[in-house]
Amino acid sequence: MKPKRKAAILRYLLPVPGLALALLLLVLLPKPGPNGPVAAHSGDVFGPACGAATVNGEVDASEWSSAAAQTFAMQSGGSAPALTATLHVMNGANNLFLGITINDDEFSTVGEFLSGGDSFRIDFDNAHSGSIFVPGDDVLVANAGFPQFEDSYIDADPAPSSSEADVNAGGTTDGAAATSRLADLNHFEIRHPLCSGDPQDFCLYPGDTVGFRLEYLDAEEDGSFGGSRFFPGSTANSVADIVIGTCATPDLFFYLPLILK
């Protein structure tokens, strides 16, 4: 509908206040983007923020001082009590960094159901569609135990939320994670390239927005599963956003010593 046509209809309907208001909202509210409706996004937006962290499992206040940060309750969606987490987000020239602390009452590196112990699973909404679990969406896992980092993607087998390691689809493990227990909080730090070139990863540029949902899977001291907690919500349409900054911060990492011959 062209703007002039909308205005004419509004003038005609102005004597009907409720209808006129509804039509006005229809005209003014943002339209769905090319990737679908935007209504599912929670409104929690992190960034843009520039910086790089040392991924050693210690979310140190000084190294994350330039990050976008928010403290929130992570709800179970069931009867388990909420946990409180603080998420820090920033990016350098080449990498996205996530630093999370959570007030779990203990730090487990192994469990019966959770072989890697306490764990954060981060589901990304690559295309900012308003929904996670789209096949191909990037998935990162940081475990208290082994392996500390898993770079995965949604393969939806079985549907909807199953993930598979990138390496099992011809891709590569890109990034790192490290965890530790410090001052009654479990600390998780994660690094992942903004654009690794791996089809099983997202590819983000400055100014891009990517959706995400956090899931914390709690392993108890006796090895039992203490349940999942979520942010911003437990459904596939619960999505917060990260805006990638235009950042020159050098953040290239080398894990092996360069051997000069």
Query: Footprint of Ca ion on this chain (CB under 5 A)?
Result: 53-54, 56, 58, 104, 108, 118, 138, 151, 153, 166, 171, 174, 198, 200-201, 218
Residue carrying the six token digits 């509804």: 22
E strands, 31-148, where?
Answer: 41-46, 68-74, 83-91, 95-102, 119-125, 138-143
Nearer to Ca ion, 38 or 120 (CB): 120
In the complex, the smallest distance separating the C-beta of residue 36 from Ca ion, rounded to whole angstroms, is 21
58 phi, psi to nearest 5 deg? -125, 110
Q: How far is the CB of 43 from Ca ion (least distance, A)?
A: 26
How far apart, in Å, are the Cα atoms of 203 and each of 120, 122, 192, 197, 255? 21, 16, 11, 7, 22
Least CB distance from residue 11 to Ca ion, whole Å?
Answer: 53
Strands 68-74 and 83-91: antiparallel
Residue number with CB closer to Ca ion (38 or 133): 133
Q: Are 151 and 166 in contact (CB under 8 A)?
A: yes
SS3 181: strand
Cβ closest to Ca ion, residue 38 vs residue 88 = 88
Closest distance between Ca ion and the C-beta of residue 33, in Å?
A: 23
> Closest CB to Ca ion among 38 and 97?
97
Q: Using the minimum distance from each CB to Ca ion, give the nearer residue, 38 or 201.
A: 201
Helix (H/G/I), strand (E/B), else coil: 135: coil
Three-state SS at 25: helix
| Residue 190 Cβ vs Ca ion, minimum distance, rounded to whole Å | 11
Smallest gap from residue 48 Cβ to Ca ion (A): 21
**Would you say 144 or 240 has its CB closer to Ca ion?**
144
SS3 of the chain: helix, strand, coil, percent, to 5: 10, 35, 50
